[in-house]
Structure 1
Amino acid sequence: MQELLPKAKKEFNKLQKRLRRQAGQAIADFNMIQEGDKVMVCLSGGKDSFTLLHLLMGLQKSAPVRFELVAVNLDQKQPGFPEHILPAYLTEIGVPFHILEKDTYSIVKEIIPEGKTTCGLCSRLRRGSLYGFAEEIGATKIALGHHRDDLLETLFLNLFFGGSLKAMPPKLLSDDGKNVVIRPLAYCKEKDIATFAQMMAFPIIPCNLCGSQENLQRQVIKEMLQDWDKQFPGRSETIFNALQNVAPSQLADRQLFDFVGLEAKQKAQLAQRIQLVDTLSHPA
């Protein structure tokens, strides 16, 4: 961490406490970590995963339950990837770690045409490799560094381009039922994480697989949300609150709510009311 002036140090302490409080609250709200868990922290070398690891290390010391941390980085064999940075950093801070080597870079470059979006395939390959490795090392939880902005962006990506009303859940069970994935940064804002990472001087490793890819749909959504927040401060908080305040009967998903059985429900409720009135009118 870089040396800070008194005023900057005060701001840093406030920011760190806020992020730690938000991560701790998310963990508690969704029961993310239990006694004896072995938490595999997926460390990409970006600001989010560095912040995630740092916060979990702090919470590990004060949490009411005991849990183990192990950091795992997937070396995707990108040309020019600085392989020494993460091992040196993790050794310095004393966190057990593994470097998993999988040449997903070549697969992505072979399948995706030049200039096309690579993130979808890249993330699927990365996820499959990490899920499998979690089983190998006996990890009971897989911690990812997605934050509140990621959840909101995913909501609108699915809404605008996927025709579905879903986001990233703070906690989920993988499709095969073998892994529980947690996102302790679900309540944390990206701008806070970016500021914190800068003040901590984490050895950030940029992803150069896809370049900037400014045409990504996610980037368009990100800019839309940022514009909304400038015009209407607090809008993102309101939208995020909506993710935790869902009314299935006010949507149109027939599998989520029994619209077909509404009449039967109505008759049952009317019968109950008639019976109640009759009981009150003619007590035994």
Structure 2
Amino acid sequence: MPRIKLTYAQKKCVATVGMLMQKTQMASAGARIGIAVSGGVDSFTLLQVLLIRRRILPFPLELMVLHVNPGFDPQDHAPLVDWCARRGVAAHVEVTDFGPRAHSEENRKGSPCFHCSWMRRKRLFELCGQYGLTHLALGHNTDDLVDTFFMNIFQNGRVDGLSCNEPFFGGKLHVIRPALLVEKSYMKTAARQWKLPIWANVCPSNGVTRRADIHDKIEDCMKVGKGTKNKVFNALKRYQLDLTLQNL
């Protein structure tokens, strides 16, 4: 396969993901990684990056796309199916009713986002078991790490972010976040340059959640001085990486 020249943003994504995967021992020979792809920028960019990383690694790596459609638009995943088919990427795609159920009377006392996310995560775990996958890769980036860190402080009273590499079910499955040290701005630029067929999130709660509210407040706080955002990002990157390495 001919080598394709990468842009700065694309190189940033590929190199940073590779560094984190190596440092936190995310994959080794025989790894079978399921990539949870929602159709948004983060997960689709991670999929593209992992396909590139697979060509670089000195050992074989199996990749499989897992898409659990929440059910607001049963057809919106069609671009993903076509994209995977043209590249020979294995994929499991299914339509559920998780989204509408999370916004129904069934869940009138709970958060729709939490309920839908919990059901989709449970289904992803089941699919990993069904296909004998050893890893489940999620597309969280540095922006997600910062938002989650402050949400845990404000809402749960604990200092906690997002793990880079976390074992589940006695180590039978590892949930990994290879793009956790990549800033979303790089992922958005790289996705646009790769012309990834990303589709809009039609969930009625999109943009009006507690997480979105906290994200906006954090963004405002980061404007207090020049370089504040980079300092916060770098501090939490080091914190999360050090914590992961201590627990390996």
TM-score (norm 1): 0.76
- Against the structure 1 CA distance between its residues 242 and 224, is the aligned structure 2 distance closer, same or farther, given a 3 Å change threshold? farther
* 2:239 aligned partner: 242
* 2:27 aligned partner: 33
Larger Rg: 1
* 1:56 aligned partner: 50
Note if contact 1:117-1:210 (Cα within 8 Å) is conserved in structure 2: no
* 2:188 aligned partner: 194
Query: What is the distance in 2 between the residues matched to 1:179 and 1:236?
Result: 31
1:112 has 2:130 as partner: no
Q: In the TM superposition, what is the alpha-carbon distance from 1:213 to its structure 2 partner?
A: 3.7
* Percent sequence identity over aligned pairs: 25
Query: What is the distance in 2 between the residues matched to 1:83 and 1:212?
Result: 17
1:100 has 2:97 as partner: no
Note if contact 1:117-1:213 (Cα within 8 Å) is conserved in structure 2: no
Query: What is the distance in 1 between the residues matched to 2:21 and 2:77?
Result: 31
* 1:225 aligned partner: 218
Alignment of 1:249-268 (within 5 A): none
The one-letter amino acid of 2:210's match is Q
Per-residue CA shift, 1:109-158, capped at 9, x if unaligned?
A: 223349x8421111100000000111000111101101111111111100
User: What secondary structure is seen at the aligned counterpart in 2 of 1:27?
Assistant: helix
- Against the structure 1 CA distance between its residues 143 and 124, is the aligned structure 2 distance closer, same or farther, given a 3 Å change threshold? same
TM-score (norm 2): 0.86
Note if contact 1:147-1:186 (Cα within 8 Å) is conserved in structure 2: yes
Query: What is the distance in 1 between the residues matched to 2:9 and 2:21?
Result: 18
* 1:203 aligned partner: 197
Per-residue CA shift, 1:184-224, capped at 9, x if unaligned?
A: 0011001111111122221112222234343x221233223
Query: What is the distance in 1 between the residues matched to 2:64 and 2:73?
Result: 26
Q: In the TM superposition, what is the alpha-carbon distance from 1:227 to its structure 2 partner?
A: 2.7
* 1:148 aligned partner: 142
| Gap runs ≥5 in structure 1 | 1-8, 247-284
Alignment of 1:124-135 (within 5 A): 124-135=118-129
Note if contact 2:12-2:186 (Cα within 8 Å) is conserved in structure 1: no
Aligned length: 235
Structure of greater relative contact order (alpha carbons < 8 Å, 6+ residues apart): 2
Note if contact 1:74-1:126 (Cα within 8 Å) is conserved in structure 2: yes
Query: What is the distance in 1 between the residues matched to 2:233 and 2:78?
Result: 39
RMSD between aligned residues: 2.3
- Against the structure 1 CA distance between its residues 245 and 60, is the aligned structure 2 distance closer, same or farther, given a 3 Å change threshold? closer
Alignment of 1:5-44 (within 5 A): 13-44=7-38
Query: What is the distance in 2 between the residues matched to 1:25 and 1:132?
Result: 29
User: What secondary structure is seen at the aligned counterpart in 1 of 2:103?
Assistant: helix
Q: 205-214 or 147-156: which moved more? A: 205-214
One of 104, 123, 126 as aligned partner of 2:117: 123
1:47 has 2:41 as partner: yes
The one-letter amino acid of 1:77's match is G
Note if contact 1:118-1:210 (Cα within 8 Å) is conserved in structure 2: no
Note if contact 2:43-2:138 (Cα within 8 Å) is conserved in structure 1: yes
Note if contact 2:39-2:77 (Cα within 8 Å) is conserved in structure 1: no
Query: What is the distance in 2 between the residues matched to 1:138 and 1:165?
Result: 34
Q: 95-104 or 228-237: which moved more? A: 228-237
Alignment of 1:151-170 (within 5 A): 151-170=145-164
Query: What is the distance in 1 between the residues matched to 2:181 and 2:94?
Result: 29
| Gap runs ≥5 in structure 2 | 244-248
- Against the structure 1 CA distance between its residues 63 and 199, is the aligned structure 2 distance closer, same or farther, given a 3 Å change threshold? same
Note if contact 2:162-2:240 (Cα within 8 Å) is conserved in structure 1: no
